[in-house]
Structure 1
Amino acid sequence: MVDYSVNGSVALLLVNNPPVNALSHAVRKGLADGMLKAEKDRNVKAIVIAGKGRTFPAGADIREFSRPKREPWLTSVGNNIESSRKPVVAAIHGTCLGGGLEVALFCHYRVALKSAKVGFPEVALGILPGAAGTQRLPRVTGLPIAFDMITSGRHVSADQAKKYGIIDEVFTGDIVNSGIKYALSMVGKSTIPRRLRAVQVPGGENVQEYADAAMAQVKKKYKGYQAPVYCVRAIKASVEKPYDLGVKNEETLFKVLGQSGQARAQQYAFFAERLVGKWQMPGGNSETAKPLPVRSTAVIGAGTMGSGIAVCILSAGLPCYLVEQNEKFLNNGVKTIKALMEGSVKLGKISVEVGQRAASLLKPTMSYDDLTGVDLVIEAVYENLDLKKEIFAKLDKICKPSTILCSNTSSLDIDRIAVATNRPEKCVGVHFFAPAYHMKLLENIYSTRTSPVTAATVMKLGKTIGKVPVLVKSCQGFLANRMNTPYGTEATFLVEEGALPWEVDQVMEDFGMPMGPFKVRDLSGLDINVKITEEIAKTFGIKLTDETRFVGGNRYSHLNATLVNMGRLGRKSGKGWYKYEKAGGKLATVDDEVISVLERHCRRLGMERRTVSSQEIIERLLYPCINEGFKILEEGIAKRPEDIDISWLYGFTFPKYLGGPMYYASQVGLDRIYDRICHYHEAFPYSKHWVPSLLLRRLSEQNIPLSQWMASPGAKL
């Protein structure tokens, strides 16, 4: 998998392992053999290592992580490269990541195309660089940059990498020819000064100060994650230990992390994200359905969600009409979009050029007539079925026949919206998560009439605008909100029974969620939650009042509505489940008035408050969601547990080091999960989410792992 050739006096080792030239065992052996051959050839004066196809080696072969280690290991290959008396040049294009960057750092010189990127993304897989990367990068960049790059896993452009000292020269054009010419210019020069093992780490005298700052940063930014902490320890050793001992220390830390549950979970998530792109639905799949071109778009509604969606579209370089019926609302939406774009430029998330182009692509309008030629429209008004049907009917008459009509609904059945049009096959749900410009999940929902071509189009659009799209079948609440509903519902029941909101939040934040359920509710707005609940109640013909105890056969609490009626809408009103008087209205602080509300509420219902344990909070919030996840698989709403886990990782920021709720359930044990669900079903018979899943029951009783069931033909009950 490494093509060897000689160009004049330069040996070229061209890695040829498509698609990303992963450093598999065969590639490592090919590099080792190529170096040996070049060393023995007296006519060879210099050596160039490059990648064939679209990229320089972009990292290790992740599939090998779970297999026994096979020599030659990358470190020994790298040591042979570094010890060569002939100059070795890494000629980089595409992405030079992880093991690829380690190979480059073993080379004496590194040149790159201007479009290339380098980085150490191992931390995202729950591990750290395992071939001396934590020891070699600090020697060229200094400690602060090394701490930042390795603990964050961020990619660095070629120009920036040159400023850091990683890259020696940046070229345009043919990188292999440039690399050969550069190598020829180094012939006759000693390689000893270019061997990083002998280089002192710049700023090493301040290692403790830098390490303390880095550790504080990772514990704050990556709370609960082991890998970033181990990365800091490994990098610190580049100063505190001789090179060989530092490499040995790195190897030890790599093994500990590699055998950890977090690494297994994060690697599961890595493969799951790639799997969800291979979608299936009745009549088509990702391999057979060809997406329609989307060259122009429109968003209906200039509120918080609509403006956020428009930012995603504009940032991807697509023209976007922003439609509002009220001039004031439209102007506010335009201001919001411009502010968000300017903020992204200031934070360095997008370039000034991208920001300026995005501004030029925004087309505010109060007339639907401007939408006659657009390829795709996203309706983003609030959750009201009648209003959405009215908008779809209007769009159906105005837009060209090929236009795809999308609803950014979080819970309403797409079939009930599409019925208002004469093009149900071109109607689809695109559920963005708040804030739309930040959250990566895009839940695409197909109805009984949605065509595979329509599904293919919105799945491709999701990737175009930088989202992780997941395709699911339409039902009440779809995948994400249907499965998440018990999480918020049980949180409310727990505070009815005796827990306090901040106690529940703290338990879940300690578990790994970035925010507890009540802080999340305050952030999104309690009134939004109430409106969604009212819409759900309408489907059962129920008008919610203080006397309502059940909705659709489910236990119901009107605590949210009580707080909304008191003007406690969440952050936007300065108070909700918490009060927000500090840090510019962003810091949640305990509010005694909420305790009084809870006590009055419980007295009115005749409920005696009790002490609730942390374990019960975790079980009550997560286990019914897991139970619902199994029902979603039973019903074919989602095709795979990976669809569910990715939805939670990117839609609700479930901790990636736990893999997702379905993966987490498998680690806890399906028999344990099933037993506790049965316990709570007996305790709370009026909550349907505690009715045990038939699939979960079968897998638990027969001791069948979920992964084994998914791999079985048909995978049915």
Structure 2
Amino acid sequence: MANYRNKGGVAVIELNNPPVNALSFEVRSGLMNALKRAHDDKDVKCIVIHGKGKNFSAGADIKEFGGTKQQKPWITDACRLADESSKPVVAAIAGTALGGGLEVALFCHYRIGTPSCRVGFPEVQIGVLPGAGGTQRLPRLIGVKHSIDMITSGRHVMAEEALKLGILDKIVTDDIIEEGIQFAKSVVGIDVGGRILRNRKVEDAGSKVFDDEISRVKKKYKGYIAPLFCLKAIQASMQLPYDAGMEQELKLFQQLVSSGQAKAQQYTFFAERISARWQLPSGANSQTASPLPVKTAGVIGAGTMGAGIALCLITSGIPTVLVEQDQKFLEKGVKTVEGDLRGSVALKKMTAEQANKAISVLKTSVNLEDLHDVDLVIEAVYENLALKKEIFAKLDKICKSKTILCTNTSSLDIDTIAEATKRRDKVVGTHFFAPAYIMKLQENVYGKDTSAETVATVMALGKRIRKVPVLVGTCDSFVANRMLHPYATEALFLVEEGASPYEVDQALEDFGMPMGMFRVSDLSGLDIGYKVRKEAAKRRGIELTSDTRFVNGERVCLLANVLVEKGRLGIKSGKGWYNYGSPGKREATPDPEVLDTIEEYCRKYDIKKRKISSQEILERMQLAMINEGFKILEEGIVSKPEDIDIIWIYGFGWPKYMGGPMFYANEMKLKNVYRKIRDFHQNYPFSIHWTPSKLLARLSETDLPISKWTSLINSNSKL
């Protein structure tokens, strides 16, 4: 709804749908009625629109984008009364004016804001474009170039920049409503004709500008269609009269709303919020558990991962002690942190002052005893169970009783590590992804004794350090790497059977993955996977050699081990699956020597090669991983499919416009997914990952949409 009051000849209209004042049907109707009332009231000389609480408006109600048709009035219907008013209309912006909220403000004649306010058009991030005049009105206010930047990126613009661009007319420091009233009074009597954006013309930026922008957008937002539609709509503002441009904007908006990408991106928008709502098997959940305060932290290990984690902490204002057993390694880690901070300053992601403040709260030590008083410790040594247990046993004695002990393990059992301590309730996994300072996913792993308080603390910490935290249960490799295993294994089998590594990577990148499987391996380092495989085999009492073809009756491919034993470690050595010319270089070139190695390997084991299509590559890799995802759900390692999708989107770069692997399976229809997996199971009986999930089999009979899976899982706990 919208509240109305007349304060001394000023109509004050309050958008009332807290906390963000989403522009629901009730708010739009209330705004229209309030503007009519202000127009008809002869005592009213000017109008101020503001939002109740801390925000102006965060935009349209995204729930109305679904199947039910949005009810009139539209935002444009309500706001046209402001546009056409002879009485000055002022938008008084506190907090956010985003999407439809900014469009409401652009229908006003003037806009003022608080120093902390933000404006922007984030619609592109949910697969659509501003559909209430944003693409037509913003270019008339700030020009084509700046409009393209704001609308295709969806970025938020802070008050100072908004003032420079001309979006804001004034920044005010006192009460926004009173400031709005005083500003409105000051412009009474001034002809508002020149302030009406629909009457302005857009300066012709020329066709070359749009050709260049199309190339830039295609490269930067590879695979996404919404940014390109945004460009078309902005171009219409330049080429067409206002009303015709509005029609074109609406047409493009409707095409996007009905697209598969918009559906997937909106699913992702909600999935991220749903995944933040966690629950333990005990019943404790995000609503009932309170996090402990984390005022200080420690990080053990100053390698690439440890340094990156420390950087996440100190740039979030958390004083941190970085511990390394060797002074030389410690100094190298500090140089890594300092170099990354300088890089962030150079890229204008932070100021020099912010970088100096961050480094000032970093302390270093070669003594674990210096962690005696921190609130939380993150161990980030290499993946060795015995070493981690040794460290945790020492920490248990050194740290205060309330200190939470976290391990940055990618695969090791949390319960086994916790056994080394007398505080099993305070042991938890915090799996960061490399590079830790850049990658947004934080896979938090609870054990059987991990308390709700501990989980709440690491989930809150994840948000505080600007990560996307997802809670999972402990098992071998957890969720991310457990699903990655059959995905990567199928990639190797496909290479054995006839596809080149480069054809596999091309198929994945054409699908929308930022990087193919073999390029990722080179980036991470083939020796890392080599050590992990050796360690995992050792724990199972198995000895792996380059001649190993089967382990406990299951087919394996150790081509990667062959490359490691030839000194091909990836980017770090200048050659891996690809050739990089020299160590550290990033430009990947297909290497005939690798193809010869594959040929030799296949001849040795009498493997017949055949032509493999890109469709088969995608189906085998993705369905193997999806099947494992259903097994993870079946076992209760995660409680909902959204958790898996968010892990793959933020951990491995699965394209948001595909909605995550579980959403993708939903769109493929589960009966088709199940049928294909059964066929692969029949054709590849020695690959255990093709054994169909019982949960998938059950769901494939129901034809339930993904939004209903969780309720079925909960009602069928024993499958």
- Contact 2:571/2:584, CA 8 A, preserved across alignment: no
Q: Paired residue for 2:112?
A: 111
How many angstroms apart in 2 are the aligned matches of 1:9 and 1:535? 77
- Contact 2:428/2:450, CA 8 A, preserved across alignment: yes
How many angstroms apart in 2 are the aligned matches of 1:212 and 1:295? 51
Q: Paired residue for 2:147?
A: 146
Runs of 5+ in structure 1 lacking a partner? none
Q: Paired residue for 2:455?
A: 455
Q: Letter of the aligned partner of 2:213 in structure 1?
A: A
- Contact 1:379/1:408, CA 8 A, preserved across alignment: yes
Residue 215 (structure 1) aligned with residue 214 (structure 2):
yes
How many angstroms apart in 1 are the aligned matches of 2:263 and 2:594? 41
Runs ≥4 residues deviating over 4 A? none
Q: Paired residue for 2:237?
A: 238
Q: Letter of the aligned partner of 2:192 in structure 1?
A: T
Q: Paired residue for 1:587?
A: 587
Q: Paired residue for 1:69?
A: 70
- Contact 1:50/1:91, CA 8 A, preserved across alignment: yes
Q: Paired residue for 1:250?
A: 249
1:35-434 matches, cutoff 5 A: 35-66=35-66, 67-202=68-203, 204=204, 206-283=205-282, 284-434=284-434
1:457-606 matches, cutoff 5 A: 457-551=457-551, 553-581=553-581, 585-606=585-606
Secondary structure in 2 matching 1:49: strand
Q: CA deviation at 1:152?
A: 0.6
Q: Paired residue for 1:666?
A: 666
Q: CA deviation at 1:498?
A: 0.9
How many angstroms apart in 1 are the aligned matches of 2:452 and 2:702? 36
How many angstroms apart in 2 are the aligned matches of 1:316 and 1:674? 45
Q: Letter of the aligned partner of 1:222 in structure 2?
A: Y
Q: Letter of the aligned partner of 1:108 in structure 2?
A: H
Q: Letter of the aligned partner of 1:57 in structure 2?
A: S
User: Judging changes above 3 Å, is the alpha-carbon distance between structure 1 residues 199 and 714 closer, same or farther for their aligned structure 2 residues?
Assistant: same
- Contact 2:57/2:97, CA 8 A, preserved across alignment: yes
Q: CA deviation at 1:98?
A: 0.1
User: Judging changes above 3 Å, is the alpha-carbon distance between structure 1 residues 395 and 457 closer, same or farther for their aligned structure 2 residues?
Assistant: same
User: Judging changes above 3 Å, is the alpha-carbon distance between structure 1 residues 537 and 582 closer, same or farther for their aligned structure 2 residues?
Assistant: closer
Q: CA deviation at 1:386?
A: 0.8
How many angstroms apart in 2 are the aligned matches of 1:515 and 1:709? 30
* Identity within the alignment, %: 57
Q: CA deviation at 1:551?
A: 3.5
How many angstroms apart in 1 are the aligned matches of 2:493 and 2:384? 26
Question: Can you list the C-alpha shifts for 1:612-655, whole angstroms capped at 9, x where unaligned?
Answer: 11111001110011001111111000100000101111011101
Q: How many residues align?
A: 715
- Contact 2:10/2:45, CA 8 A, preserved across alignment: yes
Q: CA deviation at 1:348?
A: 1.9
- Contact 1:674/1:692, CA 8 A, preserved across alignment: yes
Q: CA deviation at 1:550?
A: 2.7
Secondary structure in 2 matching 1:364: strand
1:645-684 matches, cutoff 5 A: 645-684=645-684
How many angstroms apart in 1 are the aligned matches of 2:612 and 2:262? 32
Q: CA deviation at 1:353?
A: 2.7
Q: Which moved more, 1:94-103 or 1:166-175?
A: 166-175
Q: CA deviation at 1:494?
A: 0.8
Question: Can you list the C-alpha shifts for 1:308-352, whole angstroms capped at 9, x where unaligned?
Answer: 111111111101111111111101100000111111122122233
Q: Letter of the aligned partner of 2:82 in structure 1?
A: I
Q: Which moved more, 1:55-64 or 1:530-539?
A: 530-539
Q: Letter of the aligned partner of 1:527 in structure 2?
A: D
Q: CA deviation at 1:78?
A: 1.9
Q: Letter of the aligned partner of 1:473 in structure 2?
A: G
Runs of 5+ in structure 2 lacking a partner? none
How many angstroms apart in 2 are the aligned matches of 1:484 and 1:99? 40
Q: Letter of the aligned partner of 1:701 in structure 2?
A: E
How many angstroms apart in 2 are the aligned matches of 1:673 and 1:387? 42
User: Judging changes above 3 Å, is the alpha-carbon distance between structure 1 residues 715 and 254 closer, same or farther for their aligned structure 2 residues?
Assistant: farther
Q: CA deviation at 1:553?
A: 4.5
Q: CA deviation at 1:216?
A: 1.0
Q: Letter of the aligned partner of 2:156 in structure 1?
A: H
Q: CA deviation at 1:702?
A: 4.0
Q: CA deviation at 1:708?
A: 2.7
How many angstroms apart in 2 are the aligned matches of 1:50 and 1:102? 13
Q: CA deviation at 1:561?
A: 1.1
Q: CA deviation at 1:705?
A: 3.6
Q: Letter of the aligned partner of 2:458 in structure 1?
A: V
Q: CA deviation at 1:217?
A: 1.3
How many angstroms apart in 2 are the aligned matches of 1:40 and 1:471? 55
Q: Letter of the aligned partner of 2:2 in structure 1?
A: V
- Contact 2:141/2:167, CA 8 A, preserved across alignment: yes
Q: Which moved more, 1:283-292 or 1:452-461?
A: 283-292
Question: Can you list the C-alpha shifts for 1:641-670, whole angstroms capped at 9, x where unaligned?
Answer: 000101111011101001000000011111
How many angstroms apart in 1 are the aligned matches of 2:319 and 2:101? 38
TM-score by length of 1: 0.98
How many angstroms apart in 2 are the aligned matches of 1:528 and 1:554? 23
- Contact 1:709/1:715, CA 8 A, preserved across alignment: no
How many angstroms apart in 2 are the aligned matches of 1:584 and 1:704? 48
Q: Letter of the aligned partner of 1:89 in structure 2?
A: V
Q: Paired residue for 1:709?
A: 709
User: Judging changes above 3 Å, is the alpha-carbon distance between structure 1 residues 398 and 348 closer, same or farther for their aligned structure 2 residues?
Assistant: same
How many angstroms apart in 1 are the aligned matches of 2:449 and 2:553? 29
Q: CA deviation at 1:141?
A: 1.4
Root-mean-square deviation (CA), in Å? Answer: 1.2
How many angstroms apart in 2 are the aligned matches of 1:582 and 1:366? 34
How many angstroms apart in 1 are the aligned matches of 2:278 and 2:486? 27
- Contact 1:290/1:457, CA 8 A, preserved across alignment: yes
Q: Letter of the aligned partner of 1:167 in structure 2?
A: L
- Contact 2:59/2:101, CA 8 A, preserved across alignment: yes
Q: Letter of the aligned partner of 2:398 in structure 1?
A: I
Q: Letter of the aligned partner of 2:35 in structure 1?
A: M
